[in-house]
């Protein structure tokens, strides 16, 4: 077991130990680093998740960092043997951007993009780390100190100092070692810089993740430069052994130990009563693609400003992809999903959107089962997310173009559930296409011919667990869904015919009617439907949800009591 605090450093180093011309963007180094960093985050994601309290105490920062970097690692591994290091870093950054998960993953993807940009310009190790830190900080609408951004800044400053030391030109191993040490010191100090961390008695989860990423860079650099082998490096492939965060997670004399209740009774890893790390209940993420115009540099800034008006934890990363096309990934926590989606649609007028997904932050707790639901109804996304699903939007955003779902899109979102088993509702791709993206035991695809089916399925499963699905590994989830559909009949009508359609279909056996209303249905229709249902089935429940789609369509789902 390698202790990340002290024993992942080469025993000896010095300028004479490095072959001439070795750079951080050497292809072998990039491949080894990406592989080692991904492995470290995979091993330690649960430990990082446990101390995640900022910007939201949703216990998924370690998982998000791992899933984001894993996308980059898969892309790098697929590159041909002759790819240059700069090309590999570009591939790594682009794949991480497209596959970014959560606030922390988006920031990490921009940090990687900064590395790639500096590498293409021929910078040294300190240049790469400085550009990475600058890019990451600029991507965040309201940066906070004591976070991954502070650790990145500290690493960059230490790298510049080491590279310009009076002792002579430092080699790459000395530079990245100094950077990793500085990031570690910043992670240790984070508890005293950010009041959310101080109240919970933990270190910043994102900063801890960056420590692991930089430690993996030290290990890879040691192998590439011919320096002394770092403790914990595998003889077989140069990868790191398990990294132990225990020492970093030890309390200071003024802070409680993780797992120890504070004076107010709050468990570390959860915000104290009344504290808010972010006001937005829903997380929206989307990828924007469009032509690079003269004002391309302002796209991210304008998106940050606009999203900042409707939510917090705003991060927008990306830019010119070097092909005449710009790619941006946006992230926001919001209570105004309709307005946030309108901002996304407006930004895509000359391009397209993809990977548009929504989740409820309180539904992130890792259960045995996770749910992914696809819909083209933007106003329905919030209701499905509140029911515990991660929602993929497939259209319905005004005049914007939403690209067709791919297996990659579904796999990335399914992975973000953090579950061992995943239920797919309304997703076109089968489990064979999705499974390769997931570390899961089971994928269950449930055909949902309409959005009504998705609503009914989640409502039925929600009776077993308020947010999500039953935790028992042997739970018959597919049976529960099939049972919910057994008494379901769905009818599609125009708004002016909806009342008569309900009156004709409802009867003594009706227990629930779900009505999904498009945006242009008549005013007062919910009240008319309620009156008709009371007339035909007084004990039945009416659920009315808006779809946000244009038109006057109404979909009625009639559920009858089953013997």
Q: Is residue 535 part of a domain?
A: yes
Residues 202, 76, single domain; the answer is yes
Chain center to CA of 145: 21
CATH code (residue 166): 1.25.40.340
- Higher-scoring residue by pLDDT: 147, 294: 147
Q: Is residue 343 part of a domain?
A: no
The percentage of residues in the chain with a pLDDT greater than 90, rounded to a whole number, is: 35
> Residue 409: is its pLDDT beyond 90?
no
The percentage of residues in the chain with a pLDDT greater than 70, rounded to a whole number, is: 75
pLDDT at 36: 94
Strand, coil or helix: what is 406? Answer: coil
* Residue-wise pLDDT tens digits, 12-37: 333 333 333 447 778 999 999 999 99
Q: Is residue 13 part of a domain?
A: no
Residues 506, 474, single domain; the answer is no
Residues 142, 58, single domain; the answer is yes
Residues 32, 121, single domain; the answer is yes
Residues 84, 214, single domain; the answer is yes
List the domain range (segments joined by +) for residue 286.
279-334
- The phi, psi pair for 488, rounded to 5°, reads -100, 130
Return the C-alpha torsion angle 511, 548, 348, 340, nearest 10.
Answer: -80
Q: Across the chain, how many H-helices and E-strands are there?
A: 19, 14
At CA 118, angle to CA 117 and CA 120, rounded to 5? 65
Cis amide linkage into residue 132, ω under 30° from 0: no
> Residue 254: is its pLDDT beyond 50?
no
Q: Is residue 46 part of a domain?
A: yes
Number of domains the chain is built from: 4
Q: Is residue 269 part of a domain?
A: no
Return the C-alpha torsion angle 335, 113, 101, 546, nearest 10.
Answer: 40
CB-CB contact of 511 with 488 (8 Å): no
DSSP code string of 456-472? HHHHHHHTTSSSS----
DSSP code string of 147-206? SHHHHHHHHHHHHHHHHT-TT-PPPHHHHHHHHHHHHHHHHHHHHHH-HHHHHHT---HH
Q: How many CA atoms does the CB half-sphere of 522 hold within 13 Å?
A: 13
pLDDT at 293: 64
Q: Considering 435, 461, 485, which residue would you say is the last residue of a domain?
A: 485
pLDDT at 76: 94
- Higher-scoring residue by pLDDT: 85, 233: 85
Q: Is residue 400 part of a domain?
A: yes
pLDDT at 139: 87
Rounded mean pLDDT of 511-520?
A: 93
pTM as predicted: 0.75
Q: Considering 485, 510, 528, which residue would you say is the last residue of a domain?
A: 485
d(CA 529, CA 535): 10
Q: Is residue 262 part of a domain?
A: no
> Residue 498: is its pLDDT beyond 90?
yes
> Residue 103: is its pLDDT beyond 70?
yes
Q: Considering 200, 229, 249, which residue would you say is the last residue of a domain?
A: 249
Longest C-alpha distance within the chain, in Å?
Answer: 89
Strand, coil or helix: what is 211? Answer: helix
Q: Is 19 buried (19+), middle (13-18) or exposed (0-12) by CB count in 10 A?
A: exposed
CATH code (residue 369): 3.40.50
Return the C-alpha torsion angle 145, 149, 155, 156, nearest 10.
Answer: -110
Q: Is residue 272 part of a domain?
A: no
d(CA 331, CA 106): 7
Residues 408, 491, single domain; the answer is no
Rounded mean pLDDT of 323-337?
A: 86
CB-CB contact of 155 with 182 (8 Å): yes
Give me 134's structure tokens.
């600058």
* Residue-wise pLDDT tens digits, 288-312: 988 776 455 688 888 989 999 999 8
Residues 355, 467, single domain; the answer is yes
Give me 481's structure tokens.
């869904």
pLDDT at 133: 95
Residues in the chain, total: 563
Residues 233, 124, single domain; the answer is yes
Residues 380, 421, single domain; the answer is yes
CB-CB contact of 288 with 69 (8 Å): no
> Residue 468: is its pLDDT beyond 70?
no
> Confidence band (pLDDT; 50, 70, 90) for 134?
very high
- Higher-scoring residue by pLDDT: 518, 487: 518
> Residue 170: is its pLDDT beyond 60?
yes
Give residues with Cβ within 8 angstroms of 365, minimum separation 6: 58, 59, 467
pLDDT at 365: 54
Residues 431, 500, single domain; the answer is no
pLDDT at 43: 87
Residues 212, 311, single domain; the answer is no
CATH code (residue 525): 3.30.1330.20
Residues 295, 230, single domain; the answer is no
> Confidence band (pLDDT; 50, 70, 90) for 518?
very high
pLDDT at 16: 30
């Amino acid at each position: 077991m390698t202790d990340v605090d002290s024993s992942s450093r080469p025993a000896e180093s010095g300028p004479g130990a490095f072959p001439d011309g070795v750079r951080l963007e050497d292809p072998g180094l990039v491949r080894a680093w990406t592989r080692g960093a991904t492995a470290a985050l995979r091993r330690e994601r649960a430990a990082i998740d446990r101390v995640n309290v900022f910007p939201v105490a949703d216990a998924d920062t370690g998982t998000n960092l791992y899933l984001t970097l894993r996308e980059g690692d898969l892309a790098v591994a697929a590159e041909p043997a002759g790819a240059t290091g700069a090309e590999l870093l570009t591939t790594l950054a682009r794949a991480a951007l497209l596959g970014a998960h959560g606030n922390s993953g988006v920031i990490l993807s921009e940090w990687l993009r900064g590395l790639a940009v500096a590498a293409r310009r021929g910078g040294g190790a300190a240049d790469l780390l400085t550009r990475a830190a600058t890019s990451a900080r600029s991507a965040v609408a309201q940066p906070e100190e004591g976070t991954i951004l502070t650790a990145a800044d500290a690493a960059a400053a230490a790298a510049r100092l080491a590279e310009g030391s009076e002792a002579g030109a430092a080699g790459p191993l000395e530079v990245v070692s100094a950077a990793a040490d500085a990031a570690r010191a910043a992670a240790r100090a984070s508890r005293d810089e950010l009041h959310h961390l101080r109240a919970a008695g933990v270190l910043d989860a994102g900063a801890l993740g960056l420590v692991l990423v930089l430690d993996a860079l030290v290990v890879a650099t040691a192998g590439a430069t011919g320096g002394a082998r770092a403790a914990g490096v595998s003889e077989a492939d140069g990868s790191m052994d398990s990294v132990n965060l225990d020492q970093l997670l030890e309390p200071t004399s003024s802070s409680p130990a993780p797992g120890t209740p504070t004076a107010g009774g709050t468990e570390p890893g959860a915000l104290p009563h009344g504290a808010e790390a972010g006001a937005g209940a829903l997380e929206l993420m989307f990828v924007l693609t469009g032509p690079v115009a003269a004002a391309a540099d302002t796209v991210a800034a304008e998106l940050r400003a606009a999203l900042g008006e409707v939510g917090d934890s705003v991060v927008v990363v990306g830019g010119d992809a070097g092909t005449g096309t710009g790619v941006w990934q946006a992230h926001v926590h919001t209570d105004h999903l309709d307005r946030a989606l309108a901002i996304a649609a407006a930004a895509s007028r000359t391009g397209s959107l993809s990977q548009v997904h929504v989740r409820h932050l309180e539904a992130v707790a890792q259960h045995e089962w996770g749910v992914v639901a696809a819909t083209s109804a933007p106003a329905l996304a919030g209701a499905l997310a509140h029911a515990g699903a991660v929602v993929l939007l497939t259209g319905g955003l005004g005049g914007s173009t939403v690209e067709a779902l791919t297996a990659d899109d579904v796999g990335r979102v399914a992975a973000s559930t953090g579950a061992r088993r995943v239920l797919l509702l309304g997703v076109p791709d089968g489990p064979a296409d999705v499974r390769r993206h997931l570390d899961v035991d089971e994928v269950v695809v449930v055909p949902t011919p309409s959005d009504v089916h998705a609503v009914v399925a989640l409502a039925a499963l929600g009776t077993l667990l308020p947010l999500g699905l039953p935790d028992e590994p042997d739970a018959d989830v597919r049976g529960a869904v099939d049972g919910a559909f057994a008494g379901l009949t769905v009818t599609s009508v125009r708004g002016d015919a909806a009342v008569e359609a309900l009156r004709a279909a409802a009867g003594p056996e009706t227990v629930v009617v779900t009505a999904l209303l498009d945006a242009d249905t008549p005013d007062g229709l919910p009240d008319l439907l309620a009156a008709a249902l009371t007339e035909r089935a007084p004990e039945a429940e009416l659920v009315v949800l808006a779809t946000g789609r244009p038109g006057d369509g109404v979909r009625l789902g009639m559920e009858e009591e089953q013997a």
